[in-house]
Amino acid sequence: MERSLTMEVVRVTEAAAIASAKWMGLGLKEEADDAATTAMRALFDTIPMHGTVVIGEGEMDEAPMLYIGEELGLRNGGPSVDIAVDPLEGTNIVAKGTNGAITVLAIADRGNLLNAPDMYMEKLAVGPESKGLVDIDKSVTENLQAVAKAKNKDISDVVAILLDRPRHQKIVDEIRAAGARIKFIQDGDVNAAISTAFDETGIDIMFGTGGAPEGVISAVALKCLGGDFQARLIPEDEAQELRCEKMGIDVNQVLYLEDLVKGDDAIFAATAVTDSELLRGVQYKGEYCLTHSVVMRAKTGTVRFIEGRHSIEKKPRYVK
C-alpha cells in the first residue's frame, strides 16, 4: 500500500464523525449511523485505490451501503485493499450524548483481514509492554498479574476495561478477587481496546466479549501500536457454528494477531464523535468545526494525532 493512503483515509473518518456528530444527544441512533455511513461512502470514492469491504454494515441485502463485498475507491489503478469499517462505533453513545463514540476503519492488502462474521468474540487486548506476556487461555488473575509485572506496578493499580454486561459477571468477580480495578463502559470496545496501548488513558487491559467485526478492527490498531490482541469466536447457535466451520475456524481456536490481520501493511484510522480518554469529540463552533483523529500504520509504526478545522462555509457536502 502507498503511504499516502494513511492521510487519505483519515478524511473518511473525519467526514463520518462530522456528519454523525450532528445527531449527538438527539436519541436517534439509526440516523446517526446512517449519516456516518453516507459520509464515509462518499469520501471513500475520492481515494485512488480499489477497495472491497470485507467487514461492513452487513450483507448486500440487509445494508444499502458499505455492505460486505461493496467496491469502493476511484478504482482506476492504485492498490487493491481490504476494507473494514464501523462507520459509527457506539451508535447508542451518540444517541445518548455520552463518551467514547468513534468513526473507524482499517485497510490492509487484499486478503489480509479476517472476514469475521457478525457474531460475538471473546477478546483480550493489551499495550506493548504486556505483549507476549498475556494469554487468553490463562485465567483473568494470571493475566492481571502478568500486566502488573510488565508495567512494574501493584495489581491494585492495574485497570481493566470491559463492557458492562451481565455475561461478564465471572470476569468481574475474578478481577475483584484479584484486587484490580474495573472501568466499565456501556458500549464501544474498539475505543476500549486501543486505550490499553496509550499510557495516558490509565487503562492496562481489556477483557470480555463483544462484536467480532469490531475485534478485527481493534486487532489492526493493536498491531500498529505494537500491542497484543487475542480472540476467540463465540457462536451462539448452529447457524453461526456452521459459518465458523465454513471459514475453516475451529470455534475453540485462539485467533492471534496474525490470524486477524496478516502481514505488516495495515492502516487504522479513527475520529472521535464524542469525547474519550484519547480524543476529543467533534465540536461545532459556528463557522467551523473541529475534529480529533488518530491514524496509524503497522508497517512503520507511525501514529499520528490529527486535529482538523473544517470550514462550514466552504464545507464539503457532508457537513450539511
Ligand X SMILES: O=P(O)(O)OC[C@H]1O[C@](O)(COP(=O)(O)O)[C@@H](O)[C@@H]1O
Interface positions with ligand X (CB under 6 A): 88-92, 163, 165, 187-190, 210-211, 214
Which of 103, 101, 105, 102 lies closest to 72 in space, CA to CA?
105
Q: What angle, 0 to 180 degrees and rounded to 10, lies between the N-to-C axes of helices 140-150 and 169-178?
A: 50
Closest to ligand X by CB, 150 or 278: 278
**β-pair partners for 132:** none
Shortest gap between Cβ of 265 and ligand X (angstroms)? 25
Please tell me what DSSP assigns to residue 261.
B
Which of 32, 7, 37, 57 lies closest to 308 in space, CA to CA?
7
Q: Is 248 left (phi over 0), alpha (psi -120 to 50) or beta?
A: left
Closest to ligand X by CB, 14 or 57: 57
Closest to ligand X by CB, 81 or 220: 220
Shortest gap between Cβ of 235 and ligand X (angstroms)? 14
Shortest gap between Cβ of 89 and ligand X (angstroms)? 5
Closest to ligand X by CB, 49 or 244: 244
165 is an annotated ligand-binding site residue: yes
Cα dist from 149 to 48, 165, 174, 177, 197, whole Å: 46, 28, 18, 18, 16
275 is an annotated ligand-binding site residue: no
Shortest gap between Cβ of 190 and ligand X (angstroms)? 6
- The binding site consists of 33, 57, 86, 89-91, 120, 165-167, 187-189, 211, 214
- The binding site for substrate consists of 89-91, 120, 165-167, 187-189, 211
- The binding site for Mn(2+) consists of 33, 57, 86, 89, 214
